[in-house]
Amino acid sequence: MSARPALTSVEARIDALANRLLRSAPATGTRARLVELAVFVLKQAWACVFGATFLAVVLAAKLWYPVDAPLARNDALTIAAVVIQVAMVAGRLETLRELRVVVLFHVVGTVMELFKTDVGSWMYAPEGVLRLGGVPLYSGFMYAAVGSYMVRVYRLFDLRFSRYPQRWITAVVAAAIYANFFTHHWIVDLRWVLLAAVVVLWWRTRMHFRFFRGTFRMPLLLAFAGVAVFIWLAENIATYAGAWLYPTQVAGWHPVDVSKLSSWFLLMIVSVVLVTWVYPPREPDASTLSAVHKGVAGS
C-alpha cells in the first residue's frame, strides 16, 4: 500500500494551527457536527484555491476590465493564470510532483479545445496574441484547475478506496471516453455506453475520507456526480463572464444546458484516472476500517 501523500510545508503549518484551535471541540453532539461541517467546507475551499481564484479573476475581468485597455482581456487572463500557478508552487501550496499532473491536464485540455473550437462546439472572443488558433492559452488553465483540485483533495482528505477496480481497466475506459469527445462528431456518440461502463466498473467502490475526527465513506460514483455538478455550476459562471460561449449563448447568455453534466461526469473519469497514475488508490487501513464511520451513504 502506498504512503499517504504528505502535506506541503505551508499546509502542514496551517493544519497544525487548525488542530490546536479545534482541540477543545466536542466529540459528539450538534456542535461537533457543525465543526466537522465547517472543516469540510474549508478544506474543500482550500482544494479549490486555484480554480476559485482564476474564476474570480475571470468574473472581475468581465465587470471591470477596460474595453480600451492596450492589453487584450484574453491575454490578461492568460498572464493572470500563469501568475496564479507560479504563486501556487512558489508559495508551497502545490508540489512539483502535482505540478506535473496539472501540466498534463493543461495539455489534454488544450488539445480538446483546439478540436472543439474548430468544429464549432464553443467559441472564444477573437482577441489577443497569446493563443493557438482560435483558443486563448488561458483555456488550458481551466482544465488545469480541475487537475489541481483532484490532486489536492486526494491528500487533504486522506482519501482511501475499497474495491477500487484495476487501474489498467480504468485507463482503457478513460482513453475511450477521451476519444469519444472527438469521434462522436463523425460516428455514433458512445457516451451512454461509456456511462454504463463507468457505473459497472465503479459501482462497488467506496471512498473513505477524513476531514477532522470522523471517518466517512460514500459511493465513489456519488462523489464523481457531485464534483461534476460543481464544475457545471462553475461553467455557468465562466460563460456568464464571457470566458467562452456556446453557440446558443451568442445572442444572449442563458444557463448551460444540464445535458452538459454527462460530459463533465465523463471528464471526471479521465481526471481521476490521470491522478491515480501519480497517486495510486490506497485501500483503507485497519484503523480506518475499525473507526466509527459517520454519514454513510449507500454502504
Q: Which tens digit of pLDDT belongs to each residue from 62-89?
A: 999 998 999 999 999 999 999 999 999 9
Residue 2 lies in a domain: no
- Over residues 88-99, the mean pLDDT reads 85
Instruction: Determine the average pLDDT of the residues in 97-101.
Output: 83
What pTM was computed for the model? 0.87
Mean pLDDT across the stretch 232-255?
94
Segments forming the whole domain that contains residue 111: 29-294
Look at the chain and report how many structural domains it folds into.
1
Residue 79 domain flag: yes
* Residue predicted with more confidence, 95 or 138: 138
- Residue 296: the pLDDT is 46
On the 0-12 / 13-18 / 19+ scale of CB atoms within 10 A, 269 is: buried
Q: What is the mean pLDDT of residues 23-37?
A: 80
pLDDT digits (tens, 9 = 90+) for 188-228: 999 999 999 999 999 999 999 987 777 889 999 999 999 99
- Identify whether the C-beta of residue 144 lies closer than 8 Å to the C-beta of residue 85: yes
Residues 6+ apart with CB under 8 A from 48: 149
Spatial distance between the Cα atoms of 48 and 269, rounded to a whole number of angstroms:
18
pLDDT given at position 295: 46
